[in-house]
Structure 1
Amino acid sequence: MYREGASYYDFLMNEAPYERWKMWVDERLHMTNKTGPQSILDVGCGTGTFMSLIMRDGHDATGVDVSEDMLAIADSKIRRETNQVPQLSCQNMAELSLPQTYDVITVLCDSLNYVIEEKDVQQALMKFYEHLNHDGMLLFDVHSIQKMTEEFPGFSYGDNDSAQSLIWNSYAIEDVHGAVEHELSFFEETSSGLYKRYDELHTQRSFAIDTYVSWLEEAGFAEISVVKDSHMNVQVIKMSGSSS
């Protein structure tokens, strides 16, 4: 996932609502009386754009991603934009293992939807709980079942700028409810004027909100708030009720 394609990620995400995600996190911190710099673990941090935003606000951020190539870009970007040395770790979120706990864990941009198996989603939620401080907060968004079953199948999108182009097609996975495959084709102009093509296949899966809530409760979380936005993303806000 995002190997050579890591270099195209920011092009793919050029309209991603990073500022809106940051505003959501800021609102949650304010509503839960968390003031001042927080220790934040950003799981699925990608190329570090969100980490840069929160680090510039003074938060102590750590980033985790399964792609070493994405983390290499994140390291350069964060150093350039914040003049700080980022704390980054290449890990699978279902096997998360870090030496400290955090005030806040964020899992944004439907990163949790890349965990396909039910047992792995449950394991990831338990790992998040273990890595939170007492009364810590987990913030994540996932695609709704409606989006996965009605909007993504047959979805097609194209974008381009002066040097790069993208074609994105999505298909339902038969016999796996709530799962889709995204075929991404990137085209980059070379010095010869010809275009280099790079293809990636991404698989995502989502579950019913009641299922996520049940898994969160089983992991030990005590307070759950669910918000559905106009883009059919479902945001689940969690606070741990006891120390891990």
Structure 2
Amino acid sequence: MYGNGARLYDYLMEDEAPYRQWLAWTLTHLEGMNVSAPAIADVGCGTGTLMSMLLTRGYDVQGIDDSQEMLAVADEKIRAHNNIAPHLRRQHMSYLQLEKQVDVIIVFCDALNYLADETEVKQAFRAFYDHLTPGGRLLFDVHSFSSMQHHFPGRTYGDAGTDVSMILNSFSDDDVPGAVEHEMTFFERLSNGDYRRFDELHRQRTFSVADYEQWLQASGFEQIEITADFTKQPPQADSERICFSAGKP
């Protein structure tokens, strides 16, 4: 969960996060639904970039995140870009409590990978199911097991800007398959020219495609579509991002 790093997130992720691909994938599913004005819950909305894109296109979207700092950035961004007061609330996705059911729930940008264990994922799926209207749809993506095992462990990433810099080191958790830890060190330039340092530790975990599919089915979801890396192709051994679409009957 992002703390102080929330206000630097957009700057650091400007060229990293595939917002256009998430948007296109979401719009494809929205256009295929027989709902004239679908209500959307963006769970794990972060700084509200995708939420702002959907609001710009006239969709009714509310944002949920467990980080108050991320929500503060989202509120400021959407007020500035969309000229509205956004509907935002702080909640853990495993204990989702919406005022009413929505037609679509989206959970992108690895948000589901922040759940600690199988129990939290199952709780989240049940909560998503309960808060969808009949015929509603859940859309989410996760890091693949391959990425967690081979791409992230041992990775070092640096972004050295004039005003903001970050160093990220990723490590595998040998005791927990599919889990990685990201040590993040931020340097922020102050108005007097000095730099302020702060550190965050982020832990992510993924599960097999079969596990996610089984837990979705156990929660009541049907018409489960599983693809990889924003294509129409099924996941392969070297796929990096697994995309799920699941319907509530």
TM over 0.5: yes
Gaps of 5+ in 2: 231-238
Distance 2:122 2:210 in 1: 13
- Please tell me whether the aligned partners of residues 136 and 247 of structure 2 are also in contact (alpha carbons under 8 angstroms): yes
Kindly state the Cα deviation for residue 92 of structure 1 after the two structures are TM-superposed.
0.4
Q: Counterpart of 2:235? A: none
- How far apart, CA to CA, are the structure 2 residues paired with 1:81 and 1:64? 19
Task: Give the C-alpha shift of residue 32 in structure 1.
Answer: 3.6
After superposition, the C-alpha distances for 1:79-120 in whole angstroms (9 at most, x for unaligned) are 111111111110000011111111110000010000011101
The equivalent residue for 2:21 is: 20
Output aligned runs, 1:32-181, within 5 Å. 32-34=33-35, 36-181=36-181
In the other structure, the counterpart of 1:239 is: 247
Cα offset, 1:194, TM superposition: 2.4
Task: Work out the CA distance in 2 between the residues paired with 1:12 and 1:66.
Answer: 20
Q: TM-score, normalised by structure 1?
A: 0.95
* Greater CA drift, 21-30 or 184-193: 184-193
Deviations 1:43-90 (A, max 9, x none): 000111111000010100010000111111111111111111111110
Distance 1:209 1:29 in 2: 24
Mapped to 2, the partners of 1:193 and 1:110 lie a distance apart of 34
1:136-166 Cα shifts (integer Å, max 9, x gaps) = 0100000000000111100111113221111
Q: Which runs of 5 or more structure 1 residues have no equivalent in the other structure?
A: none
Q: Say which is worse superposed, 9-18 or 68-77, in terms of deviation.
A: 9-18
Rounded to whole Å, the distance in 2 between the matches of 1:161 and 1:212 is 38
Offset of residue 214 of structure 1:
0.3
Q: In structure 2, give the amino acid aligned to 1:167.
A: I
What amino acid maps onto 1:73 in structure 2? V
* C-alpha distance after superposition, 1:175-217 (max 9, x if no partner): 1000000011111112332221111000000000000000000
- In 1, Cα distance between equivalents of 2:11 and 2:173: 26
Matched residues in 1 for 2:243 and 2:66: separation? 22
Residue identity opposite 1:190 in structure 2? L
Q: Give the 4+ runs in structure 1 shifted more than 4 A.
A: none
Shift of 1:33: 4.3
Name the amino acid aligned to 1:122. K
Distance 1:92 1:73 in 2: 18
Question: Mean alpha-carbon deviation: is it higher for 152-161 or for 113-122?
Answer: 152-161
Alignment of 1:181-200 (within 5 A): 181-200=181-200
Distance 2:191 2:240 in 1: 41
TM-score, normalising length: structure 2: 0.93
The answer to whether the Cα contact below 8 Å between 2:79 and 2:85 also exists between their aligned partners in 1 is yes
SS at match of 1:55: helix
